[in-house]
Amino acid sequence: MSPREAQLFLDMMAAERGAGANTLGAYQRDLEDYEGFLATQGRDIAGATTADLRGWLAALSARGLASASVARKLSAVRQFHRFLYAEGHRGDDPAAVLEGPRRSRPLPKVLSQEEVSRLIATAHERAGEAVASFAEAARRARTACFVELLYATGLRVSELAALPASAANARGDAIIVRGKGSKERLVPLGEPARAAMSAYRAALDRVAAERAGAGGRKAPAERGRWLFPSGAASGHITRQQVALDLKDLALAAGLDPARLSPHVLRHAFASHLLAHGAELRIVQTLLGHSDISTTQIYTHVLDERLKSLVRDLHPLSEGSGD
């Protein structure tokens, strides 16, 4: 694989597929892994065969990689070989006939509604406590904003971290979110989440005024581009920091930190909606899933709801009112 061909492939994925920086980085690492294996066999990508690909997959499994990880790596390499064939860099596609490992679809980790309510209550209690500095008060207000937004909208953590500052001032009952592939979607937003954003922005203003050595209020126009600004290279808070703040909140709420992450709140959002009667297609739209099959990991919730309906409403059921 020449560096030029790999870069052309990554450029294509960014321009035509809307792949983000994290996805492109993962593709590059997967291609380097594949090329490294071929080198140990005295082969290269230009002459790789289907047998070579099968050998690489076997080596990945021997390294103890989960089937989902192997499938993801194969997807990257398969797309690269397809690109090489389509662009005339190779006369064949050795990956075309390969089937990836079967991927199990484990049930998502979900918090109960009572546990989410406890998290939200704890976050607001901590945000309302007297603390030693405006900076600590802003951090606690930010955590309350995280948990309110994630549970109210089902945002991915990358979407949350990159929310623009204008989201706090959006008119109406929804915000526009830029998701995977730079696709935009409209996400409804309730009053508790709006109030949490306003409280957090007010806390940031107090920090800015303190640092400026003035008692006046910092103008919104000076707040910057991001809702959650940070000293990170991106200019906004990192996904890792969001996760750390939530684990700190879990401890304060008496929950196991290992059970809480931004994605767990996204799962709770979807599962609780379905449990209360939302249609799967609507949840798909709210989550920003391009394929309904991705949303179907939540069908265990629908199964339980159907069982409850039969148990409670069927005329021959012991739980029916007749």
Please identify which residue in the block is written with the tokens 């802003």. Answer: 138
34, 151, 200, 298: the active-site residue? 298
Would you state the structure tokens that stand for residue 56, as one six-digit string? 């690489």
218, 263, 300, 305: the active-site residue? 263
Pairwise CA distance, residues 1 & 27, whole Å: 14
43, 180, 185, 247: the active-site residue? 180
DSSP state of 236: B
Pairwise CA distance, residues 245 & 232, whole Å: 16
Q: Could you tell me if 80 and 9 are in contact, meaning their C-beta atoms sit under 8 angstroms apart?
A: yes
Q: Is 263 a catalytic residue?
A: yes
Q: Could you tell me if 103 and 261 are in contact, meaning their C-beta atoms sit under 8 angstroms apart?
A: no
Q: Is 180 a catalytic residue?
A: yes
The CA–CA distances, whole Å, from 302 to 231, 257, 273, 307 equal: 43, 27, 10, 9
Q: Is 289 a catalytic residue?
A: yes
124, 201, 266, 267: the active-site residue? 266
Element (H, E) at 176: strand 174-178
The b/e string for 262-294 (b: 16+ C-beta within 10 A; e otherwise) is bebbbbbbbbbbbbeebebeebbebbbbeeeee
126, 140, 142, 156: the active-site residue? 156
The b/e string for 181-195 (b: 16+ C-beta within 10 A; e otherwise) is eeeeeebebeeebbe
Q: Is 156 a catalytic residue?
A: yes
Q: Which residues are catalytic?
A: 156, 180, 263, 266, 289, 298
